């Protein structure tokens, strides 16, 4: 089974009260024996990093002929590829995913094995709507239609299910979906890695201003939890928990990681400050921040140049980190004076742009990384009055 990876979500099951693995759900009281029926299945988080954002899938259930029951999973890809190859495809926005089908019981066993909570919602669709939805799902299985380029927020297995359900219900999920839910993409994403401080810190450098836009109701359904909530609210499909995670709850809130970035800024500035007090080895001391800042800038600018992912391409951190910071050690004392003046003045401009809202990313602590080493030596480098 090749189920979803980093930053993803998808799977299938059935509705009804908790029951033995593999047993199809009985129709709700009064629903009659009409079949097939369709169930949205959403999965909670798991201990593995790639399970931190949940999963979603959809099942077409036949009670009388259970062998026909199939679950449609849009989170399938080839994880047998070398990690660097798959990583390059994600970076280029060409990570190819596809829809696949799987048996009900096997899928349920998989998510129980990974100790991930499972919720099932039988969709209250008319028989005509069921027929149209099944036709859309079957059409996606055709070789010419089954593949798509994965995007964590815009095109994943949760958004694909959202779009299908919305289409057959006459736009029920999209209606009023333009209002904000009150959190940004960055905040929503941070909940999934709340205990992964190093990833949160890295995200401040790598991911740009689109993550700091507030998420709309429609967009929020890229996340299975929000898809489940909106399907319940708009369609009246009450979620039934078919399996509850037995392990300890995974954290959904934590720090921002700013303290670690500030600590790094102090570490870079310390040798410069000490050299300034001694009055010697200043150029040598500037080597550490010069190498660190230049290397970081080169990585960020290179990623922005090669990626097609908008969250990485439009990145305000590029304004903070300059590949030219090697000049801190390459220039002579007098020319270094002018470079520092330009550098500090530009950081001041960025700070002003943050204050007035022109820039929206959490850049304050990143500004500190550059400003502290410069300020630690600025008085010695600026021209004498």
State yes or no: pLDDT of 273 exceeds 90.
Answer: no
What CA–CA distance (Å, rounded) separates 305 from 312? 9
Residue where the block lists tokens 């020319």: 335
**Whole-angstrom distance, CA of residue 211 vs CA of residue 288:** 31
User: Quick check: 8 pLDDT over 60?
Assistant: no
pLDDT for 23 equals 37
Enter the CATH code of domain 37-243. 3.90.1720
Which has more confidence, 14 or 213?
213
Closest by CA position to 261, among listed 285, 294, 296: 296
- Predicted confidence at residue 21, as pLDDT, reads 32
Q: Assess whether pLDDT exceeds 60 at residue 381.
A: no
Q: Is residue 28 packed enough to be buried (19+ CB in 10 Å), middle (13-18) or exposed (0-12)?
A: middle
Are the CB atoms for 120 and 13 separated by under 8 Å?
yes
Q: How many H-runs (helices) and E-runs (strands) does the chain carry?
A: 15, 9
Which residue ranges make up each domain of the chain?
37-243, 258-381
Residue-wise pLDDT for 78-125, tens only, equals 766 666 676 777 788 888 899 999 988 888 889 999 999 999 999 999
Q: Which of 372, 205, 209 is nearest to 301 (CA)?
A: 205
Query: Please, what is the average pLDDT of the chain?
Result: 85
| Mean pLDDT in residue range 147-164 | 94
> Per-residue pLDDT for 6 more than 90?
no
Q: Give the 3-state secondary structure of residue 279.
A: coil
pLDDT in tens, 57-82: 999 999 888 889 999 999 888 766 66
pLDDT at 158 over 50: yes
Give strand pairing partners of 37. 61
Q: pLDDT tier at 140 (50, 70, 90 boundaries)?
A: very high
Mean pLDDT of all residues in 300-320: 94
CA distance 267 to 263: 6
Q: Place 262 in a pLDDT band, splitting at 50, 70 and 90.
A: very high
Beta bridge pairs of residue 216: 180
- Which pair of tokens denotes residue 189? 């994403």
Of the ranges 36-50, 75-89, 347-361, which one carries the lowest mean pLDDT score? 75-89
pLDDT at 214 exceeding the cut of 60: yes
What is the widest separation between alpha-carbon atoms in the chain? 92
* pLDDT computed for residue 182 by the predictor: 95
Q: Which of 215-224, 230-239, 306-315 has the lowest mean pLDDT?
A: 306-315
Residue with more model confidence, 280 or 379: 280
């Amino acid at each position: 089974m090749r189920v979803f990876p980093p930053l993803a979500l998808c799977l299938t099951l059935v509705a009804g009260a908790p029951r033995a693995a593999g047993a199809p759900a009985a129709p709700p009281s009064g629903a009659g024996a009409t079949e097939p029926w369709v169930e949205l299945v959403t999965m909670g988080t798991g201990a593995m990093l790639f399970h931190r954002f949940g999963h979603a899938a959809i099942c077409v259930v036949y009670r009388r002929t259970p062998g026909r029951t199939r679950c449609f999973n849009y989170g399938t890809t080839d994880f047998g590829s070398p990690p660097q190859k798959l990583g390059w495809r994600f970076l280029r926005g060409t990570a190819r995913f596809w829809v696949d089908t799987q048996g009900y019981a096997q899928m349920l066993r998989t998510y129980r094995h990974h100790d991930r909570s499972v919720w099932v919602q039988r969709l209250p669709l008319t028989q005509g709507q069921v027929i149209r939805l099944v036709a859309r799902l079957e059409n996606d299985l055709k070789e010419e239609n089954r593949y798509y380029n994965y995007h964590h927020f815009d095109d994943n297995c949760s958004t694909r299910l959202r779009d299908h359900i919305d289409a057959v219900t006459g736009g029920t999920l999209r209606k009023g979906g333009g209002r904000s839910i009150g959190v940004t993409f960055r905040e929503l994403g941070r909940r999934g890695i709340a205990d992964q401080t190093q990833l949160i810190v890295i995200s401040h450098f790598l991911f740009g201003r689109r993550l700091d836009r507030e998420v709309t109701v429609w967009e929020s359904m890229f996340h299975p939890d929000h898809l489940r909530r909106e399907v319940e609210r708009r369609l009246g499909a009450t979620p039934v928990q078919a399996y509850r995670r037995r392990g300890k709850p995974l954290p959904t809130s934590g720090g921002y990681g700013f303290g670690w970035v500030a600590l790094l800024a102090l570490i870079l500035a310390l040798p410069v400050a000490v050299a300034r007090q001694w009055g010697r080895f200043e150029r040598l001391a500037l080597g550490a921040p010069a190498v660190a800042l230049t290397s970081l800038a080169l990585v960020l600018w290179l990623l922005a140049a090669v990626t097609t992912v908008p969250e990485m391409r439009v990145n305000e951190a590029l304004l903070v980190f300059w590949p030219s910071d090697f000049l801190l050690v390459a220039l002579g004392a007098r020319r270094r004076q002018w470079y520092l003046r330009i550098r500090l003045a530009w950081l001041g401009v960025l700070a002003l742009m943050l204050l007035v809202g022109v820039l929206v990313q959490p850049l304050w602590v990143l500004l500190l990384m550059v400003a502290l080493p410069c300020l630690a030596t600025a008085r010695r480098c600026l021209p004498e009055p």
